[in-house]
Structure 1
């Protein structure tokens, strides 16, 4: 159970923050940037939810909760040292749930004959923005895992990759099942 009684601690005033393990790192550290971007993604999804209802809103609510799990996963890197608590991590069943949602929502979409511009309904536009933030989070996580001594689980990488796919499909779904997608016309304005 998380309990926050004090909002400011002054422990980060020198530009460092604590990981879940207690280790302190610079706020500009790639790991901090990775889970900070996941937090930004979660906020973008919160804004998208202002325009969502019913089933899409429920899916996005589950994703927001999962993104806190992903943030916790990234904030507490896997190490060989035991922790005094169980480490929270993204698991394959969360990836599988995204794949089921992608397949379900994609089944009724109009086939694509061009790339889709990030536009259309307000919900679609916000979902496209969230998708691009998910892609940035993925790039940061991939960079992080390439660094010596850093670990990011396969499930966490898969999750953020599938999430950007889900957000794309949801954006198309929000554009009248893809019928109102705004399509790219190559060279249109030459």
Structure 2
């Protein structure tokens, strides 16, 4: 499992075996079960999760208890409530497991220690954050600029296997459309 993390990190920076062992010593492992919450609104958030296998969603419920899905996290991706994690405050998002799986996670304290000790990792986390900001901007622009069909096509490009892994109601929530609209998109 550590090999998966190393390959992920080394897409951005290179590490010696000793450096990677040092990096790995700052992470812990967590298994999760389908339907389990890793983070719930109101929880204190201390961990950023790297998904080894499995599928999770980040969502928010509004006053009418309607769920809005912000993100899906599949293998080789990260998930947390970034505002709560980085500010060390309570969560405004729910992170729920949609499949059984495994993750490695790092606390903010360990991430800071790691970055102070190994500046390559500071570069890694900065570049990772930049990539996440770009993806978020793309998602927002897609939501406000594209019609439902284009949003659906963008989803298929970003998460090709997702349609087989989650209920259509979740896909509709992520796209910001009704279940009926999604059904029409799929059949066309």
Determine which structure has more spread, i.e. the larger CA radius of gyration.
1
TM (norm. structure 2) is: 0.29
TM (norm. structure 1) is: 0.29
Structure with the higher fraction of residues in strand conformation: 2
Give the structure, 1 or 2, with the largest relative contact order (CA under 8 Å, sep 6 or more): 1
Structure with the higher fraction of residues in helix conformation: 1
